[in-house]
């Protein structure tokens, strides 16, 4: 159970006068893939909160020209990086993070293209960093709520900061020290479990993940669909069971990468690995017995499981990808 919350420390005791501390340089990194007009709206809100906005397009090609052109034209502090091929969110994030570090960033904001960080969000995260003392050693600050759903801190620091073991990377504000000490995102995972692995590694290096109190971001968490075993519609008064649908190729990465992380952490984090296994049983069952591509989900689950056990990492094999997307 979470510990009771200690009193919040006054800001005056933790922040030195602004005249003696230069304002930190804050750069946002946003990976995109087939961006649309919603991305432009989200970036308008974010660009005013940071010194520079680095947009990394993950191999969309000419289809992204119009939206990326709008971003370059409308937002003066925007820098566009275009990757030649689609390589996954980990590589796209790392391309942007490297560029931000080279440009002198003290803090880096990570967000997905479909996430809206409201006005004042970055300032709230920086305030959380300012409240933390050196002993707490905060490396990441994340949102308090996602679409109104609150996070529940597992611990509280002596100065009253809520701390969590992991969080989604969209909305992360990461310190330069944390990145330089812990390293960048693991590109071998490609797309799924990237944020979980990063959080675990950050904690292994002695950093904490704090919650920016009272912040709330809008983030697309995926499509929720009704559970229809073998295509059958089950009558139910309240609409029945809904589950989060992922495409078969995403199912491959989810299964493979979760098994990979279990192997990496089973000795040091036995309770965590047990929780991972338990929380994947239901969604895996739903994917295999429900939806329009049950056979492909079964193949993705089996192959992803075998590759996870064999510690095969990197992009999905091209032949398997073609089959799962056909």
In the chain, list all ranges with CATH 3.90.550.10: 11-219
CA dist list (Å): 1 to 153, 160, 162, 180: 9, 16, 13, 33
Backbone dihedral region for residue 48 (phi beyond 0: left; psi -120 to 50: alpha; all else: beta): alpha
The position carrying tokens 């997905």 is 112
For residue 161, the SS3 value is coil
Q: What is the DSSP letter of 233?
A: P
pTM (predicted TM-score): 0.88
How far is the C-alpha of 291 from the C-alpha of 232, rounded, in Å? 10
> What's the burial of 246, exposed, middle or buried (CB within 10 Å: 0-12/13-18/19+)?
buried
Task: Give the number of other Cβ atoms within 10 Å of residue 123's Cβ.
Answer: 13
Query: Which helix H or strand E contains 73, and what residues bound it?
Result: helix 65-74
Contact partners, residue 225, CB within 8 Å, separation at least 6: 242, 243, 245, 290, 291
Q: Residue 228: what pLDDT?
A: 73
Q: Residue 238: what pLDDT?
A: 56
| Strand partners for 150 | 145
| Strand partners for 52 | 27
Give me 62's structure tokens. Answer: 């000419």
Give me 94's structure tokens. Answer: 């790392």
The position carrying tokens 């969110």 is 89
How far is the C-alpha of 141 from the C-alpha of 163, rounded, in Å? 9
DSSP track, 79-102: EEEEESS---HHHHHHHHHHHHHH
Q: Residue 5: what pLDDT?
A: 53
Give me 171's structure tokens. Answer: 């909305």
CA dist list (Å): 65 to 53, 68, 99: 17, 5, 21
CA dist list (Å): 225 to 15, 35, 45, 120: 47, 24, 30, 34
Q: Residue 90: what pLDDT?
A: 97
Please check whether residue 209 is in contact with residue 163, taking contact to mean a CB–CB distance below 8 angstroms: yes
Strand pairing report for 172-175 and 208-219: unpaired
CATH of segment(s) 11-219? 3.90.550.10
Q: Residue 9: what pLDDT?
A: 47
In tens digits, the chain (326 residues) has pLDDT values of 444 455 554 443 344 444 567 899 999 999 999 999 999 999 999 999 999 999 999 999 999 999 999 999 999 999 999 999 999 999 999 999 999 999 999 999 999 999 999 999 999 999 999 999 999 999 999 999 999 988 889 999 999 999 999 999 999 999 999 999 999 999 999 999 999 999 999 999 999 999 999 999 998 876 767 777 776 666 655 556 776 788 999 999 999 999 999 999 999 999 999 999 998 898 888 888 887 788 999 999 999 999 999 999 999 999 999 999 99
SS3 percent helix, strand, coil of the chain, rounded to 5, is 45, 20, 35
């Amino acid at each position: 159970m979470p510990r009771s919350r200690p009193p919040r420390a006054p800001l005056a005791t933790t922040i030195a006068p602004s005249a003696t501390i230069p304002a930190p340089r804050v750069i946002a990194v946003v990976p995109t893939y087939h961006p649309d007009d919603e991305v432009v709206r989200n970036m308008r809100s974010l660009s005013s909160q940071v010194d520079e906005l680095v947009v990394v397009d993950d191999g969309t090609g000419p289809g992204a020209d119009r939206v990326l052109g709008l971003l370059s034209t409308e937002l003066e502090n925007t820098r566009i990086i275009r990757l030649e091929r689609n390589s996954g969110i980990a590589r796209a994030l790392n391309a942007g993070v490297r560029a931000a570090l080279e440009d002198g960033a003290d803090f880096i904001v990570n967000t997905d293209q479909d996430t809206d960080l409201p006005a004042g969000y970055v300032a709230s995260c920086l305030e959380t960093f300012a409240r933390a003392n050196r002993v707490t050693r905060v490396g990441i600050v994340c949102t308090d709520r996602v679409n109104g759903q609150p996070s529940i801190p597992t611990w509280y620091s002596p100065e009253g900061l809520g701390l969590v073991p992991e969080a989604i990377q969209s909305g992360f504000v990461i310190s330069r020290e944390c990145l330089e000490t812990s390293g960048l995102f693991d590109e071998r995972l490609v797309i799924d479990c990237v944020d979980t692995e990063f959080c675990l590694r950050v904690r292994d290096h002695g950093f904490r993940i704090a919650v920016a109190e009272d912040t709330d971001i809008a983030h697309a968490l995926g499509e929720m669909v009704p559970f229809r075993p073998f295509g059958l519609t089950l009558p139910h008064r309240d609409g029945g069971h809904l589950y989060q649908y992922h495409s078969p190729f995403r199912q491959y990465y989810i299964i493979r990468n979760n098994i990979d992380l279990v192997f990496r952490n089973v000795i040091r984090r036995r309770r965590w690995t047990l929780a991972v296994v338990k929380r994947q049983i239901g969604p895996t069952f739903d994917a295999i017995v429900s939806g329009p591509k049950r056979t492909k989900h079964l193949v993705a689950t089996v192959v992803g499981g075998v590759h996870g056990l064999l510690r095969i990492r990197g992009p999905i094999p091209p032949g398997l990808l073609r089959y799962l997307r056909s």
